Amino acid sequence: MRLIVTGGGTGGHTYPALTAVNALRERLEGDGRWLRVLWVGAQDSLEKRVATSNGIPFQAVDTGKVRRSANPLKLASARNIRDMGKAVRGVFQSRRVVADFDPDVVLATGGYVAVPVGLAARLARRPLVVHEQTVLLGLANRVLARAGARMAVTSESTLKLLPDSARSGAVVTGNPVRPAVLAGQAERAAAELGFGGYDPALPTVYVTGGAQGSVQINTTVRDLLPWLLERANVVHQCGEANVGDLRAATRDLDPALAARHHVTAFVGPELPDVLALADVVVSRSGAGTIAELTALGKAAVFVPLTSSAGDEQRHNARHLQEAGAALALLEEVSAQALRAKLEPLLADPARRAAVAGKAREHGRPNAAERLVDVVLTAAGG
């Protein structure tokens, strides 16, 4: 089977694509078949680094970013006009790639690079599957939905946002989650981290702002530490630049309390075990994070990144909070506001379990397999 995969720009588009490719390869090999993949994306991009590091051939094409604005004059900016020209050029480049590779199906996972490749697939009459990771529908995927793509979405609530022509054939798959994330073992986490002050009698809060950390989340949690450490262990992934400041924040505390605060710049291969250990997670609310935490059934307090495209993180967090599947700081972000959200989760195990249970109802740990079903159906396989 021959597959072109496209999508990228951010990890939220790139890693679900990689997970789906791996799941498809495993499915085919289990049936005695093999998969040939070509990843098409932007030059000097995350998707190129991910593809090449996983042994997937990569082809670069031009792409352009449309900078949205309520002001029509800003839409006609020089940068937008230049990038629109690059996007058109990217369609012609992609048509050559599609013709040369002759895929059975094309899988697009969003981002601006998905548009020229997806349009080229439709022009070449190749089956196109588009996966949407967020509750909202991204601009690139809206374009491809109108171009006749078979849509796979993460949430039931996304279906009503699709154009009529795409809605009837759309499938709710969920957002693919790496299998390793689902296989963590809580009892290994403290030793792997070197967390000597871990107290197994207390709940554990995992704080993360992504690989680089989040100054906003770090500062908010730092100001809450004296109260928080009386009630919980804290694993705090903060980014390299913030380690010193956060370690200094507990120097004047009772040593027994300070020892419950484990600060680390980055959580690597031990992440599945850390997530298994965590009773509550404090984090952003990007699509990948949402997929992992709901698949695991974790109680969470979300601090949305307000600059996310289309304000999608706030939308994701509000959607889960309204369902009782998470709590979120949607307006004020402060130590006091975070305390108000954390206190009932830490003080009442039954309340924590109820939120975790609701989160699990929104999780789709088999999302990769469901997306593979859609790809195989589109390919006639």
Q: Could you tell me the residue ranges of all domains in the chain? A: 2-177+365-379, 179-362
CATH number of the domain located at residue range(s) 2-177+365-379 in this protein: 3.40.50.2000
Q: Name the residue among 257, 277, 255, 256 with its Cα closest to residue 267.
A: 277
- Please state the pTM of the whole predicted model: 0.89
Is residue 228 classed as helix, strand or coil in its secondary structure? helix
Please, where are the H alpha helices in the chain?
A: 11-30, 46-53, 72-75, 78-101, 114-123, 139-146, 164-167, 186-193, 215-222, 225-229, 243-248, 255-258, 271-277, 287-296, 312-322, 335-347, 349-362, 367-379
The answer, yes or no, to whether residue 71 has pLDDT greater than 70, is no
Mean pLDDT confidence for 323-329: 98
User: What's domain 179-362's superfamily in CATH?
Assistant: Glycogen Phosphorylase B; (3.40.50.2000)
pLDDT band at 88 (very low <50, low <70, confident <90, very high): confident
Q: Name the residue among 249, 282, 242, 289 with its Cα closest to residue 264.
A: 242
The answer, yes or no, to whether residue 65 has pLDDT greater than 80, is no
Q: What is the pLDDT of residues 127-136, one digit of tens each?
A: 999 999 988 8
Is residue 274 classed as helix, strand or coil in its secondary structure? helix
Mean pLDDT confidence for 226-237: 97
Inter-residue contact 296 to 331 (CB < 8 Å):
no
Q: Identify the DSSP state of 309.
A: G
Q: How far apart are CA 119 and CA 45, in angstroms?
A: 20
pLDDT band at 254 (very low <50, low <70, confident <90, very high): very high
Residues 6+ apart with CB under 8 A from 99: 124
Inter-residue contact 164 to 146 (CB < 8 Å):
no
Mean pLDDT confidence for 38-65: 93
| pLDDT for the residue 211 | 80
Q: How far apart are CA 300 and CA 341, in angstroms?
A: 9
Q: Which residues does residue 327 pair with via DSSP β-bridges, in sequence order?
A: 301
Supply the angle between the helices 46-53 and 11-30 in degrees, to the nearest 10.
30
Mean pLDDT confidence for 191-209: 97
Q: How far apart are CA 42 and CA 16, in angstroms?
A: 17
Mean pLDDT confidence for 28-49: 96
User: What does the block give as tokens for 159?
Assistant: 């279906």
Question: What are the C-alpha distances in Å from 46 to residues 49, 86, 115?
Answer: 5, 19, 17
Q: How far apart are CA 302 and CA 316, in angstroms?
A: 9
